[in-house]
Structure 1
Amino acid sequence: MVMTVHVDIVSAEKEIFSGSAEMVFAPAEMGEVGIAPRHAPMITRLSPGEVRVKVSDKESLPYFISGGILEVQPHLVTILADTAIRARDIDEAAALQAKARAEEALADKSGKVDYATAQAQLIQAIMQLRTLERLRKRGG
């Protein structure tokens, strides 16, 4: 029998996923982490990127998160995301527009732009597009 861990992915708006998984992969600030059942307890910040919930050998569910917190207990993984979206629900056109707007803002040398905000928006748009690209490569 395959061991599993209960996973909850919650955003400010709603619960995105709740169920059992064989493994969870998440973009921690210091690099991607893989969480298996009975993992040692930990809490870490998450960077914008893809969370993958491996529910079986044949099925992995990808999600985009804009950042948040990961809490791990031996039988429970909780992801509290600022924003969480199923990879298949990402609006590619909107992500491309957001990327273009952020790049335009970063190129503005007038001093009227909040560069930290523009940079964060650029990173988020790029990570959404990467998540979509990975989904397509996996045939999703």
Structure 2
Amino acid sequence: MKDFTLKIVTPEKVVLTDKVSQVSVTSSTGQITILSNHVPLVSQLAAGEIVVKQQGKEENLMAVFGGFVEVVPGQVIILADRVENVAEIDEDRAEEARKRAEDALQDKKVDSAEFAALTANLEKEMNRLRIVRKYKHKGIRTGKH
């Protein structure tokens, strides 16, 4: 299988630049798996996961919190709002944060801007939990922040 260049970039840093054989992302319309011969594409990313496969290496698993993916011949660029390596997600902390976000949403005194921020935070924590729980059975240790 032919490799291609994958770049994952957030507003803070370049997360990854490497040759890969396959990358799967969660787009706003569903899961997309990209191989070296994929047609050109630009798609919005939803909160979900990025699965990176390289010849002879373990999968690199990440949680992504929105952004865009662009596929051009020989290269895939992911411009992400935020990316976290699954091994670095602390499941207990994410669960506590999810509970705090749910409790805050129950407060009847929040205005619409606060409600939107709390809802986004709840979605982020639920995404983190879903992904870490999905891959925990593969022996991926979750880290403490």
- TM-score (normalised: structure 2): 0.87
Shift of 1:111: 4.1
Question: One-letter code of the match for 2:129?
Answer: L
Q: Does the residue aligned with 1:47 lie in a helix, a strand or coil? A: strand
Rate the CA distance shift 1:117–1:21 in 2: closer, same or farther, 3 A.
same
Shift of 1:57: 6.3
Tell me which residue corresponds to 2:84.
Answer: 85
CA distance in 2, matches of 1:20, 1:29: 25
Tell me which residue corresponds to 1:135.
Answer: 135
- Taking the TM superposition and a 5 Å limit, the aligned residue runs for 1:1-140 are 2-56=1-55, 59-112=58-111, 114-140=114-140
CA distance in 2, matches of 1:132, 1:54: 18
Shift of 1:82: 1.0
Question: One-letter code of the match for 2:127?
Answer: M
Shift of 1:58: 5.5
Q: Does the residue aligned with 2:87 lie in a helix, a strand or coil? A: helix
Shift of 1:126: 0.8
Tell me which residue corresponds to 2:143.
Answer: none
CA distance in 2, matches of 1:37, 1:5: 6
Shift of 1:72: 0.7
CA distance in 2, matches of 1:137, 1:73: 34
Shift of 1:80: 0.8
Structure 1 range deviating more: 90-99 or 11-20: 90-99
Structure 1 range deviating more: 88-97 or 63-72: 88-97
Question: One-letter code of the match for 2:18?
Answer: G
CA distance in 1, matches of 2:61, 2:18: 14
What is the aligned length?
A: 139
Gaps of 5+ in 1: none
Question: One-letter code of the match for 2:32?
Answer: V
Question: One-letter code of the match for 1:43?
Answer: V
Shift of 1:35: 0.7
Cα-Cα RMSD: 1.7
Gaps of 5+ in 2: 141-145
Q: Does the residue aligned with 1:77 lie in a helix, a strand or coil? A: strand
Rate the CA distance shift 1:59–1:111 in 2: closer, same or farther, 3 A.
closer
User: For 1:66-108, what per-residue CA distance to the aligned partner results, in whole angstroms no more than 9, with x for missing partners?
Assistant: 1111111121011111111111111323312221121112222
Q: Does the residue aligned with 1:26 lie in a helix, a strand or coil? A: strand
Question: One-letter code of the match for 1:22?
Answer: S
Q: Percent identity?
A: 32
